[in-house]
Amino acid sequence: MARNDEFNLRRWMAYYGRELGMENLYVFLDGKDQKIPEWYPEAHVTACEKIPGKVTELDRLRLKFLSEQAAGLLKRYDMVIGTDADEFLVADPARGMGLREFLSSLDCRTSVSGLGVDVGQHMGLEKEIDAGKPFLAQRSFGLLSTRYTKPSVISRPVSWGSGFHRIKGHNFHIEPDLYLFHFGYVDMKRIESRFNDSDRIAGGWSRHLAKRARTINIISHKEAREWDRWTSLARKIQTAVRPPYAWNKPAMFNLNIVIRIPDRFRQIV
């Protein structure tokens, strides 16, 4: 589900359409004032009644709606992927298979998670993002993040919690060689422009958007670690450690681990 987010939605549809088939994409626009995009007519795009409320209540209702939509789709599909428009589930290219083939090889009993990689701009090394080029050809650093280790892939009807961060009443499984790249913090200028979006300010998003500069600050000032070793370690920690307030979410002792993204990912997204 998206609202006023052509920048991310174009890339989201292009990536998942290439990986899964454009005819298998379902996009819900939050508000009938939203124009149905004409870029990819094979995809299923629906403008819905705008969901009311401030950030917390709005997101709860949004995920209730999307959980219901996913349950309906599971009557036709073996798996459903639920993500935000700035989230990209990627199989490691080292495995030599695309997302469809990778997911089809799994025994997904309820859900599968990719390890969360929060991609950010390194202010000392990286320029403003160019929307016409792959993001990962322009951004080389990410923060290993429990927030984006989400149970994005489901094989039976469930109730996602707000932001797809958990599944109510179910555990999660982090699949090796599967990653969820989050690009919400990929460019400082874009974050600043979204602060001035009156629609988001009215919805109470200012505090949420302000947090986005934190990822960029950490990436810009911490030494980057080696990918394979530290993603493996993060996966083990997040599998074993849970926050005291939510047993079905991952935790990582509040460690801020910055990693350098390998060149093999550069042309994917």
CA separation (Å) from 60 to 73, 111, 116, 150?
20, 20, 21, 16
| Distances in whole angstroms, Cα of residue 29 to Cα of each of 62, 65, 205, 243 | 11, 12, 18, 33
Q: Is residue 203 over pLDDT 70? A: no
pLDDT at 196: 65
pLDDT of 138-178, one tens digit each? 999 999 999 999 999 999 999 999 999 999 999 999 999 99
Residues in the chain: 269
Residue 54 has pLDDT above 80, yes or no: no
pLDDT over 90 (residue 56)? no
Report DSSP letters for 96-141, one per residue.
---HHHHHHTS--SSEEEEEEEEEE--TTT-----TTS-GGGT--E
At 14, the pLDDT band (50, 70, 90 cuts) reads very high
Which residue did the predictor score with more confidence, 52 or 124?
124
What residue ranges do the domains of the chain occupy?
80-265
Summary mean pLDDT of the chain: 93
pLDDT score at 116: 98
CA distances, 12 to each of 68, 189, 212, 222, 255 (Å): 21, 20, 20, 29, 29
End-to-end CA, the chain: 19
What's the predicted TM-score (pTM) here?
0.93
pLDDT at 201 over 70: no
Sign, Cα dihedral of 84, 139, 121, 128: negative
Q: What is the pLDDT of residue 190?
A: 86
Cα–Cα distance, 158 to 148 (Å, whole number)? 19
**Residue 202: per-residue pLDDT:** 59
Strand 174-185 relative to strand 87-91, pairing = antiparallel
> Is the model's pLDDT at 84 over the cut of 60?
yes
Cα angle vertex 84, ends 83, 87, to 5°? 75
